[in-house]
Amino acid sequence: MILTVDIGTSSMKGGLISDEGYLFSYHRVKFPHTALGGNGQFSVQLWIDGFSEIVEAVGAEKVSAVAISGNGPTMVPVGKNGMPLGSVLLWHFNQSEGIGKTSSYYLPKIKWLQVHDPDRYEKAELFLSCPELLMYLLTGEAVMVSPHKEFLPFIWDDESLDVLGLKRSAFPQIVDMGSIAGQVRVNPLLRTSLKSGTPVVACGSDFMASLIGTGTVYPGRICDRAGTSEGINYCSPKPLGNPHLRELPHAVEGMVNISAILSSTGSLFEWYRHLTGQEGLRYDETMEGVRNTSPEQEHPVFFPNLKQGLLWEFSNGMFTGLDPGQGKFELGRAVMEAIAFAVRRSLEIFESFGLPVEELRISGGQGKSRVWNQMKADITGKRILIPEIEDAELLGDACLAAVALGRYPDILKSSDELVKIKHQINPDSDLQKLYDSKYLRYRERCDGVKAFYMDSPGHKKGLWS
């Protein structure tokens, strides 16, 4: 079996996946909330301890290969003895320096280190990204993973390093995802029960792994990947050139991944649960409570913030229509409807540029909630496909490992064979009509709320922005 591990922002998860693409065992490790607050104090030890815990929880005796993906662009400076130097430069921390026209997502982190923490920069022998650090501790091999050559400008090249005045020697060689990066060896910094000599597969970016693990590898397929943020990822045969959407080379060479990024939907939902004292409540209990509030009854409305743009941003958003008789589940419906309206808005943007949308393939914990996915289907009017393994990054890692081990010729074939859809959720026609009307009113009210605040003295003084 393949040990698959994905390092997220707020947690890391792992599982054993069979040769046929079924999840045999699973374990998740949550990171302490205090480490995620943007104060720059996230420790590599959380990844190390989390990986060891996952290995022991899922079992190491049947592991034929290890495949690790992770968040980015996150970077870690590593010293002479292989020890990480200080805290992690996490992707969402405000630790990036402007680098002009260079396309790299990773070099702004290192340039920030050079400018603001020069002592740590000078001591660094290596700069490694998130999954590559664990691979290095497991194998002793320093690499950076790229989907293929089309993606290289978004990682780094020698010309960019020279232009920015960064030391070439600290940047490891770049290898293709789906290749064997090394073999497990003994390392006192990362002790596990994995057998020495077990191959470790290069998987790289978590969002690339999720595209493969949901089967979003053909033109017209869409992956809705949700975590701390949410990305609506469209597989396209060609770029659009639209500045409001993020366009990157796809995991499949020759294709383009066009993304509508909803940067705070996951954190918004967690904030709502914290605000209403539901940290001790199971997610399905929250969802059931929301389901029992009728979409036809009066409830609050949650609006995005005042930033202008095609996509809605919910950090610094606002509730309106609050009433003393409303409770936590009415607030929850407001938040969930707002997120689903934002997803619908993203799909409308795709369609306005000639990209047809018929379905959404779901990745992440959201795949476990029938209530949430039915609401998304009803609001967007699209069918929702739930993979057999909801944490699609893990299955994407397994697909890449299967290619590296020679079981399949390429990721298209491995994805075709291993990705299985277990549920299809269709829109309820009556609720779809109801939500069509609510969505149009929501858009009108969004424009009205923004116009009101943009014209207010508080906004003009900078109090509302």
For every residue of 220-254, DSSP letters joined together read T-EEEEESSSEEEEEEESS----TTSEEEE-SSTT
Q: What confidence score (pLDDT) does residue 465 get? A: 47
Return d(Cα 437, Cα 431) in angstroms, integer. Answer: 10
Q: How many whole angstroms separate alpha carbon 176 and alpha carbon 65?
A: 17
Q: Report pLDDT for 461.
A: 47
262 is written with which tokens? 């909803």
Distance CA 94, CA 112 (A): 10
To the nearest whole percent, how much of the chain has pLDDT over 90? 67
How many other C-beta atoms are found inside a 10 Å radius of the C-beta of residue 453? 17
Return the closest-CA partner of residue 402 out of 391, 414, 390, 417.
414
342 close to 260: Cβ distance less than 8 angstroms = no
Q: What is the mean pLDDT of residues 132-140?
A: 95
Q: Compute the average pLDDT of residues 198-222.
A: 95
CATH of the domain spanning 2-209, picked from 3.30.420.40, 3.90.1150.10, 3.40.50.300, 3.30.450.90:
3.30.420.40
The pLDDT assigned to 311 comes to 64
* φ, ψ at 425 (rounded to 5°): -110, 120
Domain boundaries, the chain: 2-209
- 10 Å CB burial of residue 22 (0-12, 13-18, 19+) is middle
The CA distance from 183 to 208, in Å, is 23
Burial class (CB in 10 A: 0-12, 13-18, 19+), 271: middle
Those residues whose C-beta lies under 8 Å from the C-beta of residue 448, and which sit 6 or more positions away, are none
User: Token pair for residue 224?
Assistant: 């809705």
With a cut of 90, say whether residue 177 has pLDDT above it: yes
CB 144 within 8 A of CB 110: no
Q: What is the pLDDT of residues 307-366, one digit of tens each?
A: 656 667 777 778 888 888 888 999 999 999 999 999 999 999 999 989 999 999 999 888
Res 284 pLDDT > 50: yes
Buried-state track 376-413, b at ≥16 Cβ within 10 A, e below 16: bbbbbbbebbbbbbbbbbbbbbbbbbbbbbeebeebbe
How far, in Å, CA of 80 to CA of 75, rounded?
17
Per-residue pLDDT band for 65 (boundaries 50, 70, 90) equals very high
359 forms beta bridges with 383
> Does an H or E element contain 145, and which?
strand 143-146
SS3 annotation, 264-287: CHHHHHHHHHHHCCCCCCCHHHHH
How far, in Å, CA of 363 to CA of 13, rounded? 14
Mean pLDDT along residues 393-414: 97
Q: What is the pLDDT of residue 226?
A: 82
Q: At 156, list the tokens.
A: 């780094």
**Which whole number is the average pLDDT over 416-422?**
96
- State CA 226 to chain mean position distance: 6
pLDDT tens across 385-395, in order? 999 999 999 99
